Amino acid sequence: MQMSTPIYFDTETCGLHGPIVLIQWAEGETAPINLHPVWDTPIGETLDLIENLCSSGVIAFNLAFDWFHICQMYTTFMQMDRDWLPIEHIDTYAECEERARWLNLCLKPAHAFDIMLHARKGPYQSTMDRDDIRIKRIPVELSQQLAEELNKRIILNDLYFARKADPKRRWEVTDPPTDDLESRFRDICLKFAPSSALKALYGDVTGDKDILLHSDVDVPGGNPDELGYAPYALAIAKPPYWASEKGAAWPAYIKRHAQHWGYNTQARKYAEADVRYLRVLYNHFGRPALDDNDSILAAAIGAARWHGYAINVDMLHQLCETSRSKIRDCKHSFGSTDVCKRYLLEVMSPTEQLAMERDGKISTKGTVLEELARWRESKVCPQCNGFGCQECDAGLVSTGGKHPVALRAREILDFRHAQKEINLLSKLILAQRFHASFKVIGALSSRMAGADGLNPQGINRSKYIRRCFPLADDGELLCGGDLDASQIAISDAVYGDPKIHAELLAGRKLYPIFGEYLFPGQTYEQIVATKGLPNEKDLYDRSKKGVLAMLFGGESYTLQTRVGITEEGADDAYRRWCADHPVWAAARRKYFDMFCSMRQPKGIGTKVEWHEPADFVEAMFGFKRYFTLENRICKTLYDLAQDVPKEWKDLGIKVVRRDREQTAHGAVASALYAAAFALQASNMRAAANHVIQSPEAILLKDLQCRIWGIQPTGISKWVVRPMNVHDELQCPMVPEVADFVESIVRGFITEMKAYIPLIKMGWSKGMANWAEKS
């Protein structure tokens, strides 16, 4: 059977979550481009067009977004008269829109290709969101000169700054904190604001600068107020005025949006260009095959997001009230960072307060509080009178009781947890349904990420929360399961250490095995016995954190902070582990060495040598993580540190940096080296992380696609609705396919054992809610 010609299409919408206003489309490479003004066209014609998109297949850019809107509009229009002009029935549309979420209709295109996702698999993944790069503590006399020098030496693609108010501002001198205005030092920061939008990508590929941007054709009067997790007008306001304390919903805006996109010459030119750009980019990338897993899932996620998943609203109300009572009972206003700081510092000595410093400022970030919550009271070691010996930690020994700051840190953490819970529960209560939104490639490892104001990946795993998510609607079964210790199984396949493999085959778990190195004197059995004990008494959980920290690129410092052991203990545990597992250590070192561009063969303080790093690391199943941009910046920082400009050396200024006196240019060189080494270390950790996390992401996407394959193409009733969260799949489905889906899961895991011998997945059928997963 010959495949029909796919349709290039895009949409213009009223806001980000409101209805479609214009559909621009063209069949194949040469057919004319059509602009379909939805609100001034009989409903039946729009339904016919959408049915044609489903049967022909689609090529789009950010398909999850557009397909969500296609499903939103189709299911709403199906409740209205085919002969109506929608613009004459705005209130009716809005009322049907809310009900459409429950309509048992799934739209699945026969074929799909998402150009944005394809670009993210290659060098253009550098346009995904990324952290700032900061060079710390530059003498103020040279700060501006350094910023200008870096802007001159590092010519960066405009794409990386396209979303900045002033895209030409790159490396900038940052102001010191207000309480340190007299500081002789400044930081230099490179703040990214990349764009991976269709027009930005087209401009970069073609060099065309004469491109209409969305800002050039904005609708006069702006956009409606809306909520991505409750994507319908009645969640914001009610007729006839469509305004409330939450703002003005899309019905108050739709006439001007329809008028603008239907008749404004520039706006129509902008919309028509979308389809032309899609054609150019698809050909630029070599006309890839349709129906790759990511593109298929983009359509699946868009459809499932609109229909949503069932939740138990009564249970959510009860939990929300419980969390609110915790907030009301709190004696302190922990919503204020200043209040938190004062409350903690009251019970800390000046020396202890140094533990809260991050980048020269007192921090109350969660990681800091978690560390403080493990503190115990100490006294001076009687064996060495505080000078340090084998019996103590830097001259101190624990008295066994919790430090007062540990109790206070836990109070603040519990307060924040309750706040976060209220925020999540309130959103779901308002929506009355779980509209799970995902970015298909949301991370550089290819993992999915949450989006649109409610992150499904961040929902608490606790059973009391997940019992509120039946997920399946009436007439459906909830089936699902987790990959069992998948990151351990993947690391076993990637690192290939025979000693670890033998231990795992014998049924022993890696967490307590590594725990014996972290907690000398504790046996495997003793560590297992602590599982589930409160806080730091749970050595099993602390050992798990240590293993995961190592798998994702951490070394001794990470073990110290994640596990809560001394620096010396972390160093010793890591050293002994590597000595006892040389194959593991060598494999891990291979990934580190690929990106260890700066080396000091003769030790710290000696000459730094440059070794050309790899451009990317490729994980099992072929997904690449590129480091091209980071490598370029790292090399420039290194070159400048090696040979600072002569005029800087001639200044003759001296400063005290890091407790030692330096010339101003020497301080700049030190700061450049520090920033370059920090960036390099980040690359090394990311590479080690990638080879573990990427295979897990690809595995789950592949399985999700196979289950989604049961859903008929075109327009039909819902059969399966798989959702991928971290290492698990949940899937409401009609009962008659439950056994077949289970056979797909079992067969898939058997097939994957050829690549990951220890991979396993639990699977349950007919669960009452998300908490009952295997």
User: Alpha-carbon distance 308 to 311, whole Å?
Assistant: 9
Q: pLDDT for 612-668, tens place per residue?
A: 999 999 999 999 999 999 999 999 999 999 999 999 988 878 887 666 788 888 889
Same domain for 90 and 161?
no
- In the predicted model, is pLDDT for residue 1 greater than 50? no
- Residue 437 located in a structural domain: no
User: For residue 765, what pLDDT is reported?
Assistant: 95
Which of 307, 328, 357 is the last residue before a domain boundary?
Answer: 307
CB 478 within 8 A of CB 509: no
- In the predicted model, is pLDDT for residue 2 greater than 60? no
Confidence tier at 53 by pLDDT (50, 70, 90): very high
User: For residue 107, what pLDDT is reported?
Assistant: 98
| Phi, psi (rounded to 5 degrees) for 483 | -70, 135
CB 498 within 8 A of CB 583: yes
Confidence tier at 80 by pLDDT (50, 70, 90): very high
User: Alpha-carbon distance 18 to 15, whole Å?
Assistant: 5
- Residue 444 located in a structural domain: no
What range does the domain containing 742 cover? 463-487+699-772
- Residue 436 located in a structural domain: no
Same domain for 353 and 207?
no
Same domain for 256 and 289?
yes
Which of 251, 277, 307 is the last residue before a domain boundary?
Answer: 307
SS (H, E, C) 249-266: CHHHCHHHHHHHHHHCHH
Which of 702, 729, 720, 749 shows the shortest CA–CA distance to 482?
A: 729
Q: Report CA dihedral (23, 24, 29, 32) to the nearest 10 degrees.
A: 120
Q: pLDDT for 107-143, tens place per residue?
A: 999 999 999 999 999 989 999 988 899 999 899 889 9
Residue bearing tokens 């459906």 = 476
Same domain for 118 and 163?
no
CA distances from 344 to 5, 177, 356, 406, 560 (A): 65, 21, 10, 9, 22
Same domain for 468 and 514?
no
- Residue 527 located in a structural domain: yes
Same domain for 471 and 508?
no
Which of 618, 517, 510, 611 shows the shortest CA–CA distance to 563?
A: 517
What is the domain count for the chain? 5
- In the predicted model, is pLDDT for residue 314 greater than 90? yes
Strands 624-626 and 616-618: antiparallel
Same domain for 575 and 678?
yes
In a 13 Å sphere around the CA of 688, the CA atoms on its Cβ side amount to: 25
Same domain for 322 and 281?
no
User: Alpha-carbon distance 28 to 302, whole Å?
Assistant: 23
Q: pLDDT for 242-257, tens place per residue?
A: 999 999 999 999 999 9
User: For residue 370, what pLDDT is reported?
Assistant: 86
User: For residue 601, what pLDDT is reported?
Assistant: 84
Specify the 3-state DSSP secondary structure of 470: coil
SS (H, E, C) 679-711: HHHHHHHHHHHHHHHHHHHHHHHHHHHHHHCCC
- Residue 570 located in a structural domain: yes
User: Alpha-carbon distance 374 to 370, whole Å?
Assistant: 7
State the average pLDDT over residues 193-211: 92
State the average pLDDT over residues 348-357: 86
User: For residue 684, what pLDDT is reported?
Assistant: 92
State the average pLDDT over residues 559-576: 86
State the average pLDDT over residues 466-484: 96
- Residue 532 located in a structural domain: yes
Same domain for 367 and 479?
no
Q: Which of 596-600, 601-605, 680-684, 745-749 has the lowest mean pLDDT?
A: 601-605
Cis peptide bond upstream of 350, omega within 30: no
State the average pLDDT over residues 96-105: 97
Q: How far is CA 523 from the centre of its chain?
A: 37
Confidence tier at 774 by pLDDT (50, 70, 90): low
Q: pLDDT for 267-298, tens place per residue?
A: 999 999 999 999 999 999 999 999 999 999 99
Contact partners, residue 321, CB within 8 Å, separation at least 6: none
Task: Give one DSSP letter per residue of 573-607, joined into a string.
Answer: HHHHHHHH-HHHHHHHHHHHHHT--EE-TT-TTS-
- Residue 455 located in a structural domain: no
- In the predicted model, is pLDDT for residue 388 greater than 80? no
The CATH number assigned to the domain holding 263 equals 3.30.420
Q: Tokens representing 531?
A: 């599982």
Mean pLDDT of the chain: 91
Confidence tier at 224 by pLDDT (50, 70, 90): very high
Q: pLDDT for 389-408, tens place per residue?
A: 666 665 556 666 888 999 99
Same domain for 169 and 247?
no
Whole-number percent of the chain with pLDDT over 70: 95
Entry pTM: 0.91
Confidence tier at 603 by pLDDT (50, 70, 90): confident
Same domain for 574 and 545?
yes
User: For residue 354, what pLDDT is reported?
Assistant: 85
Confidence tier at 358 by pLDDT (50, 70, 90): confident
State the average pLDDT over residues 528-556: 86
- Residue 381 located in a structural domain: yes
Q: pLDDT for 84-95, tens place per residue?
A: 999 999 999 999
Which of 149, 176, 195 is the last residue before a domain boundary?
Answer: 195
Contact partners, residue 155, CB within 8 Å, separation at least 6: none
Residue bearing tokens 């956009």 = 223
The CATH number assigned to the domain holding 719 equals 3.30.70.370
Same domain for 640 and 735?
no
